[in-house]
Amino acid sequence: MFNISKSVVAVILGGGAGTRLYPLTSNRSKPAVPIAGKYRLVDIPISNCINSDINRMFVLTQFNSASLNKHIKNTYHFSVFSSAFVDILAAEQTPDNRSWFQGTADAVRQSLRHLQQHDFEYVLILSGDQLYQMDFEEMLTKHVDDGADISIATIPVAEREAPEFGIMKTDGDHLITSFIEKPKKELLPEWVSDTGPEMAAQGRHYLASMGIYIFNRKLLFDLLLEESPDVTDFGKEVIPGSIEKYKVVSYQYDGYWTDIGHIYSFFEANIALTEDIPTFNLYDNVKTIFSRARMLPPAKISGTTLEKTLISDGCIITASRIESSIVGIRTRIGHGTTIVSSYIMGGDFYETIEEMNRAEEKGLPKIGIGDRCYIKNTIIDKNCRIGNDVRINGGSHLKDVDHALYTIKDGIVVVKKGAILPDGFVI
């Protein structure tokens, strides 16, 4: 059995500008977007690595990376006697390359000079905007046992989702024989796979790439520096071009996994965490989700009916009712307010009494949510000031719009970070 901690280096891709998650990415990178009230998206792949005994990680970023840098610096501290680290590699100009990352493969290519300083046999490449709990040790063991050059984590998907992914076909030995990027619906019958009886019973007949790859070290360097020095993307170019030349193996994953690159998928994934038995388990003793340990007081709740709701540390809540919602750190919610199917991200700091009084003198609401509000199908970003008697009723009846204070996408209202909604404001 090989030593996984000494054999593997993980590379977590921070993604592009994150336009599909706008406005949550207007002032932060995708991996820094808060999730489940107290975590950041980047905590998911990092936690999966730590739980798999992979403790050398690089996070590649180039857009709005300041808050991500701060989060990682404040969160992931390892013993000085270990070789563990989580390092951020931001896009940088060098004498050899003066351009930003042009795609996933180009980002890794530009970072190889940092990777090569370490001793490892395999590179695990991960995305920074997915929600899942996966044991990479199992995938790596299978990669070694199969004698694979490249392994791709795949997940069975249904016909409705298939056109959004790279879809693969495999033989009886799980060797990938063909690959198509985001196939049109009329082509799907040609791409049906044997995904097993349980997946087939759910109508999940197509093998989709999860954007999780294992490369043998030498092959990765040869591919990106010599064989294909101009390719920019793994999914569109590197993987299809490698299938005929190398042993590319599928590792089928049947657990919960979702790509949260869109506002609607991000919203649905968060609200799903409030179910009695959620498919993504935050309460697993083994698959812990790690994040920044904040020195916050317990949440204080008075006179509020709570139904299927997650309340984070440091909240002060006197609302009337909160249901199927997530309430993030340091959130204040006033008397008589009702919140339904919403994600309140909370605040980065508490206002003092003096600051509240000064804000009131200026006619500004306190940071948080005021009295007698009604909020439904909404994401409220951090540090917002929501006045009294504000009504936000998200839903399919609303048209998509981008306003100075909020954005509406697919019926979900996203109140922008730091927005001020005065008393009586209605959406």
| 22-44 confidence digits (pLDDT tens) | 999 998 888 899 999 999 999 99
- pTM, 2 dp: 0.92
Q: pLDDT value at position 160?
A: 87
Residues 322 and 221 in one domain: no
Q: Residue 100's domain is classified under what CATH number?
A: 3.90.550.10
Contact by Cβ (8 Å): 207, 213:
no
pLDDT in tens, 105-125: 888 888 888 888 889 999 999
Per the domain annotation, does 66 fall within a domain?
Answer: yes
Residues 201 and 70 in one domain: yes
Q: pLDDT value at position 91?
A: 63
pLDDT in tens, 142-193: 999 999 999 999 999 998 889 988 899 998 888 999 998 888 988 898 898 8
Residues 75 and 152 in one domain: yes
Residues 182 and 231 in one domain: yes
Per the domain annotation, does 285 fall within a domain?
Answer: no
d(CA 330, CA 144): 46
Question: What length does the chain have?
Answer: 427
Residues 174 and 239 in one domain: yes
- Can you tell me whether residue 64 is helix, strand or coil? coil
DSSP 286-354: SS---------PPPEE-S-EEEEEEE-TT-EE--SEEEEEEE-TT-EE-TT-EEES-EE---SSPPPHH
Q: Residue range 349-357: average pLDDT?
A: 93
Residues 254 and 137 in one domain: yes
Residues 390 and 324 in one domain: yes
Question: What single-letter DSSP state applies at residue 297?
Answer: P
Q: Residue 401's domain is classified under what CATH number?
A: 2.160.10.10
How many structural domains comprise the chain?
2
Per the domain annotation, does 124 fall within a domain?
Answer: yes
Name the residue with tokens 């979702």: 258
Closest CA to 345 of 302, 303, 308, 386: 386
Say if residue 299's pLDDT is above 80. yes
Residues 223 and 134 in one domain: yes
Per the domain annotation, does 426 fall within a domain?
Answer: no
Per the domain annotation, does 280 fall within a domain?
Answer: no
- Can you tell me whether residue 189 is helix, strand or coil? helix
d(CA 363, CA 148): 64
Contact by Cβ (8 Å): 68, 13:
no
Residues 328 and 264 in one domain: no
Residues 222 and 362 in one domain: no
Domain residue limits at 313: 300-421
Reading the block at residue 101, the tokens are 């990352």
Instruction: Select the more confidently predicted residue: 406 or 88.
Output: 406
Name the residue with tokens 């209605």: 426
